[in-house]
Amino acid sequence: MATTASAPYSNMPPRTADLDETWTFLNQGVDHIMTRLDTDLSFPAYTSLYTTVYNYCTSTKMQGKLDGNRTGANLVGSDLYRKLSEYFVEHFKPLIAKAETLQDIDLLRYYAAEWDRYTTGANFLNRLFTYLNRYWVKRERDEGKKTVYQVYTLALSQWKDFFFLKIQTDNAKLTGAVLRLIAQQRNGETIDQGLVKKVVDSFVSLGLDSADPNKECLDVYKEHFEAPFLDATEQYYKKESDSFLSQNSVSDYLKKAEDRLREEEDRVERYLHTKTRKELISKCEHVLIREHAEMMQESFQNLLDFDQDEDLQRMYALLSRIPEGLEPLRKRFEGHVKQSGLTAISKLVGEGGENIDTLDPKAYVDALLEVHRKNSETVTRSFKAEAGFAASLDKACREFVNRNAATGNSSTKSPELIAKHADMLLRKNNKMAEEDDLEGALNRVMILFKYLEDKDVFQTFYTTKLSKRLIHGVSASDESEASMISKLKEACGFEYTNKLQRMFTDMSLSKDLTDSFKERMAQNHDDMDITFSIMVLGTNFWPLNPPGHDFVIPIEILPTYDRFQKYYQTKHSGRKLTWLWNYSKNELRTNYLNQKYILMTSSYQMAVLLQYNRNDTLSLDELVAATSISKDILLQVLALLVKAKILINEEKEQYDLNPNFRSKKIRVNLNLPIKADIKAESSDVLKAVDEDRKYVIQATIVRIMKARKTMKNQGLIQEVISQISQRFAPKIPDIKKAIETLLEKEYIERVDGSKDTFAYVA
C-alpha cells in the first residue's frame, strides 16, 4: 500500500542557502525518487524540490562570482551537476554488491528490475532539474562541452560506467547470461522473452553519441551484445548442422534449416534490435546454407527424378539466399529437362529407330509437350517462375525439340512434324479438335514453334499444307485458320505470314470470279453441261508446282476449259494461266451401272476413267497416249482404281472397266494421295527452303551493307547470323557463298588494300 511521504520536505532551504544546505535538502528527495518511488511523492514535496533547484540556480548571492568568463549561475549549475553525478556513483555500490552474488536468470531478473526502477527515477529527476537542463546544460553544450548531458542522459552514462561495465568486466557476466538463455530457447526450452528484451533494450539505451545525445547509438549494443551473440549463433548452428546431417537425410535438413531461419527472423522481431537482422540472417545463411550448398546441390537431381516438389521448393528458397547458390541448380535442371525430352522421343522411335519412318506427328508433338508441361510446372511451382530457371527450361527445350532420336542429323525434321500436326488439327473431322479445345491445341503448337531454330522450314511446310486445305476445302473453320495465322504473325512478324494471308485473299477473289463466270455464261445462253468452279492463285504466294509432264484435257471438259480461258483474258489481258491439273479434283457420275454412283476423283483419275466412255478395255500404252500422264505416275493412278475395283487388271498392262462394280456408299472417294505426291511434297518443300534461304541471306547482307557502307568480313558474318537467327540458323559457308554472289553481281566490292573488308556499291 502506497504511503505519502511529504514531511521531510517541509523545511525547504531559503533562497540564500549555500550548496551544502541546498544539496542536503535535495539529496533526500533525489534518494526518495531513485529508491522509494513506490511510495508516493506528494505534489507539495515535488514542488519544494523543484523550487529549491530553481532558487539555488538563480540565487543573487551567487551572482557576481566569476570564474574566467563564466557567471555565478554557471558555477551553481556546475556544482549541482557534480553533486548529482556523485550521487549516482554512490547509488550503484550496493547494487553492484548484490549483483556480484547472482548468476544467469537471477542476475538478469535483478538487473532488469533495477533498470526499470533506475530509468523511471531518472525520468523524474530529469523533470525535477528542468531549469538546470534548459539553461546551464544547454549553455555548456553550446560552448562545446560535449561531456555535459541532460540529467536523464547523465543517469544513463553513469549507469553504463559505474554499474553496467562493472558487472560486464566479470567475464561478460551479463551478456553470457543472456546468451545462455537464448541457447536454451534454441534447444526447445521456454524462456522469459520479455526479460531478454528488457535487458537487450538496455544495451541499446546505454549507447551514447556525445555529439548528439538524442541520436540512437548502438556502440554498447554492438560491442557487448551483438558481436558475442553472432559468434555464439555461428558456433551453435555449425555444431548442430554437422551433427544433424550425419544422422538425417538432406530432405530433413532442408526442413530443419528452413525452421531455424524462420526462428531467427522471429527472434529479431521479439527481442533484438532490427539492425541486427541483416548480420544475423547473413551469418545463419552462411552456416546453414553456404557451408552445405554443395551437398544440397548434389541431391538436387534425386529430388527432380522423384518429383519431390516440396523439397525442391525448400531447396530453391534456401539456395536463393546465397550468391550464385542457384546457378548449379539451373545447369542441372537444364540437363535434366534435355535428357527427359531425348528419352521421351527415343521411346517413340524405338531403340533401333525402327519406328522413325512411321512416326505419328501427333505422338511426336504430344511427347515434346508433355516434357515441357511437366517441367514448366516445376519452374512455376518449385522455382517461383524465376527467370534463370525459365531460361534453363527454354534452352533445354530448344535443344531436344531440334535435335533428338527422330530428327537424326536433319534440322528440318522437327519443323516438318510440328507443321504436319498443325495441319491435322486444322482439318475438318479432326478427332483431336473434337476431343480437345482447338484453340488450346493451337496454343500448344506455338509453345513448340517458339523453340524451333528453322522457323522457315515450318513456314514452308505450313504454307504447303494450308494450300492443300484451302484447295480441297477441308479446313476446320476460317476462324481457326485466322487464329493460327495471327499467332504466327505475333511470333514472327508480318512478313512471315504475308503469303498465308494473301492465299485467303485469292480464295475470296476466286469465289467471286467463279460466280461472275457463271453469270456471263447464263447471259450468253451458253449451257454448261458440267458444274464448274475455279481457283486462280497467285504464283508468288502459293507453293504449288505445275505437273512435270503434258496433260491431254478430256474432250468432255474441253468446252468449259476454252470458255473460261477466253473469259479470263477479257478480264485480265496479258496474264497467263498455268493449269495445275495435279491439284484439281472432280466428280464423275456412273451411267453404265444399275445403281448410279458419284466417283470423287483426281484429274488424272478422271482423265483415265473418261477414256472408258468410248472403250471397255485399254492397255497401259493406250492410256499413256490418251492422257500424256507419265507412265510411273499413271501406274500408281491405275493401282488405286484397280484396288477400288472400278477397273479390272487381269492381264498384264491391260485394264478393263468393271461392269459389276458395287459399293456400300453412293459417293465413292477415289482421290487418295499417291506415293509420288507424298514423296515429292517433302522434297519440294526442302528445295524451296534452300532457295529462299539463299535470297534471305543475300537480302540481309545488302541491307546491312547499305546501312553500314563498309564492314569487315567477320563482323558482317556475325551481323547476318544475328539478324537471321530468329528465322533459321544460317551456316557460315552459305553466308560466304552469298557474299561471293553479291561480289559477282556488284552489289558490294572489296576495299582496295584490304582482303577482308567490303564496301556497299550504291
Q: What is the pLDDT of residues 382-441, one digit of tens each?
A: 999 999 999 999 999 999 999 999 998 888 999 999 999 999 999 988 776 565 689 999
Determine contact, residues 321/254, Cβ cutoff 8 Å: no
User: Minimal CA–CA distance to 174: which of 164, 184, 182?
Assistant: 164
Measured between alpha carbons, how far is 725 from 274 in angstroms, rounded to an integer?
52
Q: What is the rounded average pLDDT of the residues 97-118?
A: 96
Which has the minimum average pLDDT: 178-192, 636-650, 674-688? Answer: 674-688
pLDDT at residue 10, as a whole number = 60
pLDDT band at residue 56, thresholds of 50, 70 and 90? confident
User: Could you tell me the three cell numbers for 204?
Assistant: 541499446
> Nearest Cα to 341, choosing from 359, 362, 367?
367
What is the predicted pLDDT for the residue at 400?
97
Q: What's the CA gap between 598 and 661, in Å, rounded?
A: 12
Task: Decide if pLDDT at 36 tops 90.
Answer: no
C-beta of residue 481 within 8 angstroms of C-beta of residue 466: yes
Distance CA(64)–CA(75), nearest Å, equals 11
| Mean pLDDT score across all residues of the chain | 91
pLDDT of residue 358: 86
Domains, the chain, ordered by start: 7-217 (1.20.1310.10), 232-300 (1.20.1310.10), 309-454 (1.20.1310.10), 508-571 (no CATH), 585-672 (3.30.230.130), 678-760 (1.10.10.10)
Helices (H), 289-385: 293-305, 309-319, 327-349, 361-382
Which pLDDT score is estimated for 75? 55
> Would you say residue 459 has pLDDT above 90?
yes
- Asked if residue 599 has pLDDT above 90, the reply is yes
The pLDDT assigned to 3 comes to: 41
| Residue pLDDT, tens place only, 513-537 | 999 998 888 887 666 667 889 999 9
Could you report the per-residue pLDDT of 152-197, keeping only the tens digit for each? 999 999 999 999 999 998 788 999 999 999 999 999 999 999 999 9
Q: In what order do the strands lie in the sheet with 617-619?
A: 617-619, 654-657, 647-648
Of the chain, the percentage scoring pLDDT greater than 70 comes to: 94
Q: What is the mean pLDDT of residues 613-640?
A: 94
How large is the average pLDDT for residues 221-229? Answer: 97
Give the span between the Cα atoms of 4 and 171, in whole angstroms.
43
- For residue range 702-714, list pLDDT tens digits in order: 999 999 999 999 9
CB 233 within 8 A of CB 225: no
- Rounded to two decimals, the pTM is 0.80
What would the pLDDT profile of 467-515 be if each residue is shown by its tens digit? 999 998 999 999 999 999 999 999 999 989 999 999 999 999 999 999 9
217: left (phi over 0), alpha (psi -120 to 50) or beta: beta
385: which 3 cell numbers? 517462375
Residues in the chain: 762
pLDDT tops 60 at residue 69: no
Model confidence band, residue 63 (pLDDT cutoffs 50, 70, 90): very low
Q: What is the dihedral of CA 242, 247, 252, 257, to 10 degrees?
A: -20
Q: Which phi and psi angles does 30 have, rounded to 5°?
A: -60, -45
pLDDT at site 1: 36
Burial class for 180, CB neighbours closer than 10 Å (0-12, 13-18, 19+): middle
pLDDT at residue 170 in the model:
78
Asked if 605 and 641 count as a contact pair (C-beta separation under 8 A), the reply is yes
pLDDT tens digits for 560-583? 999 999 999 998 888 889 999 999
Q: At what angle do helices 438-451 and 413-425 cross, to 10 degrees?
A: 170
What are 710's three cell numbers?
A: 563498309
Q: Return phi, psi of residue 102, to 5°.
A: -110, 155
pLDDT at 757: 92
C-alpha cell at 397: 527445350
Mean pLDDT of the 117-130 span: 95
**Range in 172-181, 307-316, 585-594, 746-755 the model is least confident about:** 746-755
Query: What distance lies between CA 576 and its chain's CA centroid?
Result: 54
Contacts of 483 (CB under 8 A, 6+ apart): 439, 442
DSSP label at 70?
B
- pLDDT, residue 425, reads 95
For the segment 540-564, the average pLDDT, to the nearest whole number, is 90
**Which candidate, 64, 61, 72, places its Cα nearest to that of 17?**
61
Q: Please give the pLDDT value at position 73.
A: 46
Among candidate residues 682, 507, 517, 665, the one with its CA nearest the CA of residue 590: 665
Amino acid identity for residue 379 in this structure: V
Q: Is 711 helix (H, G, I), strand (E, B) or coil?
A: strand
Grid cell locating 505:
485473299
Mean pLDDT of all residues in 318-325: 94
6 has a pLDDT exceeding 90: no
| 81 to 269, 282, 543, 600: CA distances (angstroms) | 39, 45, 103, 118
Query: What was the pLDDT predicted at 675?
Result: 66
Q: What is the pLDDT of residues 210-222, one digit of tens each?
A: 888 888 999 999 9
Q: Hey, what's the cell of 582?
A: 495435279
Between CA 679 and CA 252 the distance in angstroms is 59
pLDDT(680) > 90: no
pLDDT of amino acid 719? 93
**Cβ neighbours around 212 below 10 Å, total:** 10
Instruction: Label residue 591 by pLDDT band (50, 70, 90).
Output: very high
pLDDT of 311 higher than 50:
yes
pLDDT over threshold 80, residue 9: no
User: Phi/psi of residue 357, each to 5°?
Assistant: -75, -20
